[in-house]
Amino acid sequence: MPDCEIMVLQGDALINYGSAVTITNTHFITMGKDSDLVPGSLECESSGCSAGQYGECKLVGNCYSCEVDICHWCSPGTYSYAGAVLLLDCQSCEAGRFKNVTDNKPSCSICESGHFSNNAATNKGGTGVASGATHCVMCPAGKYQNNNESYYCEDCPAGFFSSEGSSNCTACYAGTHTSSTGMSECETCERGKVASETIAAVSCNKCRGAFTSWARTTNCSICEEDYFMEDGICYECPENGECPLATGTTDIILGYGYWRVDPYSHQILQCTSNPDACIGGNSTLEGGYCQSNMGGPYCLICEKGYHRDLASCEECGVDGDGSVILQLCILAGLLICLVMMVIFFRKLHTRGHPCIDFVTTQSQMHFLAIAENYELLKAKFKINVVFSQIVSDFPGQFGFEYPEAYTRVAKELSNIFSLSFMSLVPAEVCMGYERHKYMIH
């Protein structure tokens, strides 16, 4: 302590020590008892200013002499502790911290994740200042920062993106990609290309062969135009058919005047006898490939309740089932013939020996003639029965129904045709003593 006049307030009196220099508005810290207050026993290195301020002081020897009640604020980006005596006592904010107001806080605020410290309110580059920051700025899109107290942001890697102020990066969604770092959004893979990965893809790869894809997908799962898909394979569109993009077997569009057996058939047939009945289109149309109320092979069969009238099917009137009476009459006639044959064959039966009492020579010859004619007609009869069975199976194969009247008659005829007529004849029917020669098979 130099030789100076030091005044210390002690109670209501000022104690004066020494020379002619007066140190005012200075905070002294006594080092001993009042009786021991002598030069060198006092410290005077601070002002009366609060934190965030500094005093207007001069150094006198080892003490600062400060103006009474005069304090200055530290500039933005800096702070100070209480009792600061010089501007140099205002310290710059550390990296990742900032201060943009003047207050009595002896520290700077922390920049949280997703932000960085900077000396301006905006910064598109994502790198700020390491000290003295006045602002905390959000990381720009395409960059991120997952730590607090940082003065810079990092680029998102390829395959990832971020929005403004992000603390982490998000993987590109399925069907999108980023091929470079620092991207704010992912690009969509266009049609015909698929992302290299399900997520976080860095490129889009072109589909091969006849395969293609919708935009923003991860696999080549559809066929190009002029192709259709079946069981995961692309085939060329059949002749007389049209195959737009992403056509399946059931989606093939048939031209006007064409028909196919079912939606899964590759063969498209031309309707030559009645082209107007076949309207084409695809299987999603109501009624399929035929005009209204028509169906069956080549659209030539009318639906139930309709009858054929030139190129179309018209609704049946109240007398539409009149033909049933005629068909039932035919059925009755067949039944009568059958009964008469059974009666005739049973009369030929005899239980005596050698059957001469019941069967004359003339009746034997007549019976043999019938048996011979039956053998000739037997093969044709079987062919007709098989044909009727095949025709009766058409509704289940081609998805249509026969008229009810026909169905009823056919059912009755089928019941008759399924019988073995000659099994009604007893096995003991014989002609003379060598009866085994005349057995009817």
What pLDDT digit, counting tens, does each position of 281-304 carry?
A: 887 666 678 888 888 888 888 888
Instruction: Show me where the domains of the chain are located.
Output: 8-34+41-92, 94-221, 241-317+403-440
Q: E-strand spans in 75-168?
A: 78-79, 91-92, 97-98, 109-110, 115-118, 135-138, 143-144, 154-155, 160-161
Of the candidates 272, 277, 345, which has an alpha carbon nearest to the alpha carbon of residue 313?
A: 277
pTM: 0.54
The pLDDT of residue 399 is: 62
State pLDDT tens for residues 172-209.
Answer: 999 999 999 999 999 999 999 999 899 999 999 999 99
- pLDDT grade for 384, boundaries at 50, 70 and 90: confident
Question: By the 8 A CB rule, do 116 and 126 touch?
Answer: yes
What is the biggest distance separating any 2 CA atoms in the chain, rounded to whole angstroms? 181
- pLDDT grade for 335, boundaries at 50, 70 and 90: confident
Task: Name the token pair of 412.
Answer: 């009755």
Residues 362 and 309: their CA atoms lie apart, in Å, by 55
- pLDDT grade for 8, boundaries at 50, 70 and 90: very low
State pLDDT tens for residues 163-178.
Answer: 999 999 999 999 999 9
375 pLDDT more than 60: yes
96 pLDDT more than 60: yes
